[in-house]
Structure 1
Amino acid sequence: MYDYKAPLKDFDFVYFDLLDYEAHLSQFPAFTELSKDVVLSIATEMAKFAEGVLVPLYQSADGEGCSWHDGEVRTPQGFKGAYQQYMASGWPGMAFDPAYGGQGLPESLGYMTGEMTGAANWAWHTYPALTHGAKNTLLAHGSDEQKEQFLTPLVCGEWTATMCLTEPHCGTDLGLLRTKAQPNVDGSYAITGTKIFISCGEHDLVSNIIHVVLARLPDAPEGTKGISLFLVPKFNVQQGQLGERNSLSCGSIEHKMGIKGSATCVMNFDAAKGYLIGEPNKGLNAMFVFMNTARLGTAMQGVCHAELGLQKSTGYARDRLQMRSLTGAKRPDAPADPIIVHPDVRRMLLTQKAFAEGGRMLVAYCALLVDHVDHGQDPRQVHAAQDRLSFLTPIAKAFLTEAGVESANLAVQCFGGHGYIKEWGVEQNLRDSRIATLYEGTTGIQALDLLGRKVLATQGKLMAPVLQDMLAFCEDHAGDPMADSLKGRLAQWQRLTQQIGEVAQANPDEMGAASVDYLMYCGYLLLAYFWARATVVAKAKLAGGTVDQDFHRGKVHTAEFYFARILPRTETLAVTMRAGATSLMSLEAESFFLQC
């Protein structure tokens, strides 16, 4: 078997060599004493937990799944013990305010450790991960009383939290939601309605679960302008102690394609006591704190599946003997050569490697921006970081999850027939990966957000700083083949953006028709930028006589592969973006079914 091992060497390269993490941390007074040695020691401890505790539960949890009985959900064997170890070690509060029991470490370090738990066992990872978004939402929009009452047990991991948006009749179109919030005489609200697809809505890991719920007040205006946000505990809380059970229940759990150890619940609220978070009818604004946290976490999920598939398929390709190399036997002492000698297997492995390691660079860069937003001292720098993050989040979420599915699929292909059976765990990785392109907003929704809101609606203002960073790199390294290739595509990116904007003014469907291709184009460019930067760093290491020659040569080689075989996908995307909406929209809806 080829089990997950935390890529500590690559974390070191990405954070410290590529992104100069020590200089980054020195900008914030709270982190000036956080040295490289301390960061890497924290990463090493998380690696031990991920590899030693979570990896052994990976396949058994998939086979067992969660069980539901009379509204109670039981998680797979070993999940509760693993969570108790996680909590006892202080991991839940690592990157949170010490005023509420956190350790005050940076969010960027949390993304590093989070990738390890996610790649080791994504189904288990979902339970603490969703709580993180709820903590951020309460910190940003909760009242002082709510923070005092709920944040400390959430931060220490004693309680977990959910995000309750989707209803049976509406998903992304939240303006259609029907859940009601009726004011009570004591200032609380009675929440009534049904929410579906609620990850970790009910489970046996903790004593209380806090639901963050979107609902409508009686006098709320129609559409998204009439949505408020509420905190609804499983057990009511009285003076810091758990009281009677609230009038909410888990009606059922979904039988899913993947992440079967993560309970996906139907939650019924029957006049459950809830508390308004933030202002009335401003709930969607507050919920986006949660959503943006979750979207970056889901971007990281794409990296997790790419990394896990890469590790498993690389191990298999080194050991599996099949045929001889086309250029002559590489293992003449064996009956056949390992399949890693074959060009097509190399293509699949290098594609996974390019997406896993390139995606890690993009997520880490976004994580550093989160640090600036959370801890920056200069309002102008905070605003600039927020703008960059606003632009990059939909790209990271959608592109990296699509790349994660592609990588997981290639891992199955590397195993051949063995990949199609459960024994090796790669078919599970593919099943687990598929949800990532759907939840927290599908790829299509992220694409509309990117092109419609972030690019065209701002007339390119959010796009400009990222573009300028990339152009500056190309100018600084003029004459380098990768930098010059990237510069040419950046010029094409600007032309395409202008062309789409012009045709969309006459027909908004043109924007919708181009949006997913546009987002994927942006994703390929961003990874090209980070791979080009990584090459500069790796070559400098090689020139300086690094002791890890193979590792840094691998970076250069993977970057060359990316520019030769992955980045050219943008040429096809440029053509399909220009193809317009006519071929998509001219067929009448009824005509799709005439052959039936």
Structure 2
Amino acid sequence: MSQYQAPLNDICFNLFNVWQLDSWWQRQPQLQELIEADTAKAILEEAAKICEQQIAPFAADADKRGAQLQDGNVTLPQHYYTAYQSLSEGGWTSLSGDPEYGGMGMPKALSMMVDEMLCSADIAFSLYPGLTAGACVALLQHADEATRALYLPKMYNGEWSGTMCLTESHAGSDLGIMRTSAKPNADGSYALNGSKIFITAGEHDLTGNIIHLVLAKLPDAPAGSRGISLFLVPKYLPDAGGEPAERNGVTVGSIEHKMGINGSATCVLNFDDAKGYLIGEPNRGLACMFTMMNYERLSMGSQGLGAAERAYQNALAYAKDRLQGRVSEKNANKAEAIIGHSDVRRMLLNIKAMNEAGRSFATWVASLLDRAKYDDCAASLQRANLLTPIAKAFMTDQGFDACVTAQQVFGGHGYVKEWGMEQLVRDVRIAQMYEGTNGIQAADFMLRKVAADNGAVLLTLLGEIKIELAETPIDAAAALESYITQLQSLTAELLAQDSRAQSAAACDYLALVSYVLYGYMWYKNLAALQSGVHSAEFITAKQHTAAYYFSRILPKAAGLLALLRHDSAVIDKLAAEHF
């Protein structure tokens, strides 16, 4: 059976040594009374207990039982109810919520570490509190005060949950062609009609009410994505006391039978004159929803990292225990643990190096969002927006690769359900697809994040990293600086090309930038070893893993640099009928 232990040492190393966030927290008036290092460690330790003891051991059973639809009602695996109650009672569903409405007010960098643990424990389960937290962010930023006061306290405390309703059967990435309509009612509300698909946590009995955030079009809406508005549509309409009362016109048509995350209820939702309330300005719904979607895209990165961490832990334990083959001639008559084999070590080091760099990267992005929020720092927000597609796309690509690689360590046993590895492969696969496929993330990164400002944010960031490398040189800094210089030059070349060529380069370009920035993460890890108290074992492991990254993984950037300098026009040479 698959096991899990939260990597608290590395999480704390990133928070307090790599990024020194405890010192920054103490300089923020809104945080200094709420959070410091000891409080953060206590929060992480308690979250780890819930994930390790109440969620992770039952993930295989949840996968087997799945979400079940009968007579219009969806039921979930039994232990989800007690686990969710523990989360709610412990305040975990309100960890980063606004204190004005009952949230704990913790920084995103801390809550993102808890997100990783939840995803390691059971991705399907993590989606229920995760979607709710994202919906709360959207309501906090775009709803009026009366709406915030009515809905946020109950969503923060876990009584109510939330969803995000975008996709229709004919309208996936192209939301501008959606058909769901919203017509004004006499009382100021709206009547919504239409159908949405792939709605995560769209129907269940885990909470007393479900708050749907729905994209729809008003009767006089402009064509395309500029004519989309956002509406709050509760499953049960609150009465005068704010309690769930009349059932709204939202019903589940079916639930999807999926490759993985079977404990997550992925629903077709039908809206039949469902009463909804406008959030934000008319025809500005997509901008409001992207507040939630950007939150969810960071959560996708946590899914990739969380699954990869659990996969690594189990592959490592198996490699140390499994006796097979002979590593050296002196043991010719005795089988040895497979961790001695070069190829097994290669696979484990690939996962370990990418996981630890990914954790540093996730902490970095989350800390930028915190700086944008608490310092009102526009530059930090720009950088967070730049890096979000990498957090979503690269971290989930690497998460899937890690799970497949860890499965390979098990050999044939990795294909057998009882070891839990095949479930990790199935569960994490969806993270590359939903909240915008990774190809779309790459296009967004290339066209909207880099080309749109002529590379200003990215190139400024790369320039500052080079200055940091020069001021605090360590081993491998010279090699990393060389790759940054080449990336700067290539970026200028791509910016001089047309959008078609840039689109063709997008996936490889995102990967190139990611490998270089992961190199920067390992630089930060090595530099941070000089601060704090660390065991000799921890220091040695970090140093050797960093050396592996710089010698065996970062050179992939050279191949991408060469590839991206070839003419991409060949992609368009073959006519559709010749495929």
Normalised by the size of structure 2, how large is the TM-score? 0.98
Q: Deviations over 1:566-589 (max 9, x none)?
A: 111112211222223322111011
Which residue of 386, 389, 394 corresponds with 1:394?
A: 389
SS in 2 for 1:473: helix
Which residue of 516, 519, 527 corresponds with 1:528?
A: 519
Change (3 A) 1:338 1:2: farther
Cross-structure match for 2:404: 409
Cα distance, 1:468 vs. partner?
Answer: 2.7
Instruction: Name the CA distance, whole Å, in 2 between partners of 1:107 and 1:70.
Output: 40
Contact 2:26/2:36 (<8 A) preserved:
no
What is the letter of the counterpart of residue 21 of structure 2? Y
The answer to whether structure 1 residue 289 and structure 2 residue 288 are counterparts is no
Cross-structure match for 2:50: 49
Instruction: Name the CA distance, whole Å, in 1 between partners of 2:245 and 2:2.
Output: 47
Moved more, 384-393 or 30-39: 30-39
Which residue of 506, 510, 515 corresponds with 1:515?
A: 506
What is the letter of the counterpart of residue 389 of structure 2? P
Contact 2:120/2:306 (<8 A) preserved:
yes
How many correspondences in the alignment? 577
Instruction: Name the CA distance, whole Å, in 1 between partners of 2:534 and 2:263.
Output: 42
SS in 1 for 2:476: helix
Which residue of 239, 258, 261 corresponds with 1:259?
A: 261
Cross-structure match for 1:469: 464
Cross-structure match for 1:484: 478
SS in 2 for 1:193: strand
Cross-structure match for 2:38: 37
Q: Deviations over 1:475-527 (max 9, x none)?
A: 1234x4411111111111111111112222xxx32111100000011111111
Instruction: Name the CA distance, whole Å, in 1 between partners of 2:542 and 2:394.
Output: 21
Q: Deviations over 1:428-450 (max 9, x none)?
A: 00111110111111111111111
Trace 1:159-178 onto structure 2 (pairs within 5 A): 159-178=160-179
Trace 1:148-547 onto structure 2 (pairs within 5 A): 148-239=149-240, 240-326=242-328, 328-329=330-331, 335-376=334-375, 379=376, 382-478=377-473, 480-504=474-498, 508-538=499-529, 540=530
Cα distance, 1:390 vs. partner?
Answer: 0.8
Contact 1:473/1:483 (<8 A) preserved:
no
Contact 1:2/1:311 (<8 A) preserved:
no
Instruction: Name the CA distance, whole Å, in 2 between partners of 1:195 and 1:211.
Output: 11
Cα distance, 1:55 vs. partner?
Answer: 1.1
Structure 2 segments unaligned to the other structure (5+ residues): none
SS in 1 for 2:276: strand
Contact 1:514/1:578 (<8 A) preserved:
no
Structure 1 segments unaligned to the other structure (5+ residues): none
Instruction: Name the CA distance, whole Å, in 1 between partners of 2:227 and 2:502.
Output: 27
SS in 1 for 2:30: helix
Instruction: Name the CA distance, whole Å, in 2 between partners of 1:226 and 1:436.
Output: 28
Change (3 A) 1:242 1:347: same
Contact 2:143/2:279 (<8 A) preserved:
yes
Change (3 A) 1:482 1:49: same
Q: Deviations over 1:307-328 (max 9, x none)?
A: 0111010000000001111464
Cα distance, 1:547 vs. partner?
Answer: 5.6
Cross-structure match for 1:99: 100
Cα distance, 1:158 vs. partner?
Answer: 0.5
Moved more, 547-556 or 398-407: 547-556
Contact 1:246/1:272 (<8 A) preserved:
yes
Cross-structure match for 2:4: 4
Change (3 A) 1:458 1:467: same
Trace 1:96-175 onto structure 2 (pairs within 5 A): 96-175=97-176
Cross-structure match for 1:80: 81
Contact 2:123/2:428 (<8 A) preserved:
no
Q: Deviations over 1:196-235 (max 9, x none)?
A: 1110001110010000000000000100100000000000
SS in 2 for 1:211: strand
Instruction: Name the CA distance, whole Å, in 1 between partners of 2:464 and 2:322.
Output: 44
Normalised by the size of structure 1, how large is the TM-score? 0.95
Instruction: Name the CA distance, whole Å, in 2 between partners of 1:500 and 1:120.
Output: 41
What is the letter of the counterpart of residue 572 of structure 1? G
SS in 2 for 1:30: coil
Which residue of 556, 567, 579 corresponds with 2:554?
A: 567
Q: CA RMSD in A?
A: 1.4
Instruction: Name the CA distance, whole Å, in 2 between partners of 1:77 and 1:568.
Output: 48
What is the letter of the counterpart of residue 101 of structure 1? G
What is the letter of the counterpart of residue 567 of structure 1? L
Contact 1:388/1:465 (<8 A) preserved:
no
SS in 2 for 1:31: coil
What is the letter of the counterpart of residue 58 of structure 2? L
SS in 2 for 1:92: helix
Q: Deviations over 1:89-132 (max 9, x none)?
A: 11111211121111222222111112111111111110000011
Instruction: Name the CA distance, whole Å, in 1 between partners of 2:394 and 2:256.
Output: 26
Instruction: Name the CA distance, whole Å, in 1 between partners of 2:310 and 2:456.
Output: 37
Instruction: Name the CA distance, whole Å, in 1 between partners of 2:22 and 2:497.
Output: 46
Instruction: Name the CA distance, whole Å, in 1 between partners of 2:455 and 2:224.
Output: 28
Instruction: Name the CA distance, whole Å, in 2 between partners of 1:444 and 1:428.
Output: 24
What is the letter of the counterpart of residue 251 of structure 1? G
Instruction: Name the CA distance, whole Å, in 2 between partners of 1:205 and 1:16.
Output: 36
Cα distance, 1:471 vs. partner?
Answer: 1.1
Identity of aligned residues (%): 45
Contact 2:8/2:45 (<8 A) preserved:
yes
